[in-house]
Amino acid sequence: MSDTKQAVSYTEYHPRWYRTRVSTWWWLSRWPYLKFILREISSVFIAWFVVLLLLQIRALSRGPLAYAAFEHWLQNPLILLLNLSALFFVTFHAVTWFNLTPRAMVVRFRGKRVADRVIVGTNYAAWAAVSLVLAWVLLRS
């Protein structure tokens, strides 16, 4: 047996990896990182929207007086500010998602890859159509 060959042995504990500690505030160092975290934070406002919707359904089920109180509560400046922030974040999430769709899904038609701008355009068109239909349903009274 050669002297240069080392014997294989197992250690009981794995040696510690060398990993530099990443700051908790790493996402503040560069704009793309901050944008990523802001986009992720938008999920909190989606949960807030569900709370708002459930409060509306509860008020509707309790009668006209409860619903009038709910509508009055919606006019509170703090709630309006919260809803304005929520709308900003939810729209930011929607726009960044639609712009990302060509990377998330590759669509082929008759053997050729569909252009990115067509996929993005279709998503925006669907967004506009769905928004118009929902607004029409709510406003046709």
Q: Which residues bind another protein (CB under 8 A)?
A: 22, 24, 27, 37, 40-41, 43-44, 46-47, 49-54, 56-58, 60-61, 64, 67-68, 71, 74-75, 79-80, 83-84, 86-87, 90-91, 93-94, 97-98, 126-127, 130-131, 134-135, 137-139, 141
Output the smallest distance, CB 88 to another protein, in A.
10
Q: How far apart are CA 124 and CA 91, in angstroms?
A: 12
Output the smallest distance, CB 6 to another protein, in A.
36
Which of 99, 113 has the CB closer to another protein?
99
For residue 38, give the nearest of 82, 100, 91, 83 by alpha carbon.
91
User: In the structure encoding, which two tokens stand for residue 72, read together?
Assistant: 């009055």
Which of 56, 116 has the CB closer to another protein?
56
Which of 44, 115 has the CB closer to another protein?
44
CB 124 within 8 A of CB 74: no
Q: How far apart are CA 87 and CA 93, in angstroms?
A: 10
CB 92 within 8 A of CB 38: yes
Output the smallest distance, CB 8 to another protein, in A.
33
User: In the structure encoding, which two tokens stand for residue 76, read together?
Assistant: 């509170």
